[in-house]
Structures are given as C-alpha cells and as structure tokens.
Amino acid sequence: MRKNTRKEQILRTATDIFSRFGIKKSTMDEIAQKIRMGKSTLYHYFKNKEEIFLAVVKKEEETLKKRLTEAVRNATTPQEQFRNYAKERMKCLNELSNYYATLTDAYLDIYSFSGDVRKDFENFELTTLQKIFQEGKNAGIFDIPDSYLVARMVFVVFKGFEYLYFQKEITSETEKEIAKTIEREIDNFIDMFYRGLERR
C-alpha cells in the first residue's frame, strides 16, 4: 500500500475516533487497533496523536474553506452570497467537529496549534466577508462606510453562534433540534442585518 494511501486511511479512522471521543480520550493504541495496524507502524507515519489530530484538523479546515467558497460562488448577488456563506458555515458545525473543537478555549489552553488554526481561518473569513460587503457597497446595495469593519462585526456574531452550539450537550436526539434552532436564528440575524445595511 502506498504511503499516502496509508496515511489517508489513518486520517479517516482518526477523524471518526476524535469526533466521538475527543483528542484527550483518544489514544494511538485505539487508532492502530481500529485500522489493524501495529502501533510501531503508526508511529512511522505520525509521532503522536497530537500530530494526527493536527493533520485531521487541517484537512477539515480545507474542506470548510472549499465549501464556503463554493457557497459564495453559487450565489449571484452580495445578499445571496452572505446568506449562503452564513448558513453553510453553521451547517459545518457538526459535520467538521474536530476542526470546530480547536476553536474552543479549552483546546487553546492545552494545544498551542489551536491558536494557529484559529488565526488561519480568521484571515480567510475576514477576507471573504470583506469582499462580499465591498462588492455590495460598490454596487450601491449596501450602505456601509467600511467593509472591513462590517466583516469584523459579523465575525464576532458568528463566534456567538458557535458558543451557543458548543455550550450545549450534543446528543443524536438534540443535534437536529439545535441545528434547526441555529439555522432559524441565522435567518433572523441576516434579515435584521440587511434591514440595517441595504440602501433605501
């Protein structure tokens, strides 16, 4: 089996384990056992579980960026671009649970790489949002003085939605209910947001 293929197998397995148990409770033994690989062989590819987790997180982050970029690209107006972006971002909360775990303060306190992950996505998000709002401003749709300032404000609001999600105890029974609540609140926020931004 090629090295890259073997690595992908490790990452797929680790993604599932980390999603269910978190990095603290997951072990190299568990990952190796799940893919029927000797632990010494696993160490040939990754030196510890933190390195595996970082690789998983980076992969999920790239998936997130790709999905958000596609969501914006599939819209024809700045209003649709922002709505698509916001809803796709929240939809990813549960699907990319390992990545979003690094955004919590608990992970930042323990794992230094969480700060780098946060910063990388923050730069991507602010750039994307600023571009949407600037296009809306240039088209005479949004009445705003500073597109970057608006992007920063929205970024903070999104962090608030993340907090609402992560402070809850997620189970299979509550997951759909929470997702619907957040989607409804996102829609309400966007409608209210547009009433303040759109040129009259």
| pLDDT value of residue 12 | 93
| pLDDT value of residue 21 | 85
62 and 43 both lie in a single domain = no
95 and 42 both lie in a single domain = no
142 and 70 both lie in a single domain = yes
Q: What is the CATH number of the domain that holds 22?
A: 1.10.10.60
| pLDDT value of residue 166 | 62
| pLDDT value of residue 64 | 92
Backbone angles phi, psi at 118, to 5 degrees: -60, -50
Q: Which range of residues forms the domain containing residue 2?
A: 1-47
Whether 76 is in a domain gets the answer yes
Helix/strand number for the chain, H first, E second: 10, 0
| pLDDT value of residue 138 | 95
15 and 70 both lie in a single domain = no
145 and 178 both lie in a single domain = yes
HSE-CB for 191 with a 13 A CA cutoff: 6
5 and 97 both lie in a single domain = no
Q: What is the CATH number of the domain that holds 63?
A: 1.10.357.10
Whether 52 is in a domain gets the answer no
Q: Encode the chain (200 residues) as per-residue pLDDT tens digits.
A: 466 788 999 999 999 998 888 888 899 999 999 999 999 999 999 999 989 988 988 888 899 999 999 999 999 999 999 999 998 998 887 677 777 666 664 555 555 666 777 788 899 999 999 999 999 999 998 888 999 999 999 999 888 877 766 655 555 555 667 667 777 878 888 888 777 765 65
| pLDDT value of residue 116 | 77
Which residues make Cβ contacts (< 8 Å) with residue 135, sequence separation at least 6? 78, 81
104 and 187 both lie in a single domain = yes
Domain count for the chain: 2
Burial label for 154, CB within 10 Å (0-12, 13-18, 19+), is: buried
| pLDDT value of residue 118 | 79
| pLDDT value of residue 76 | 93
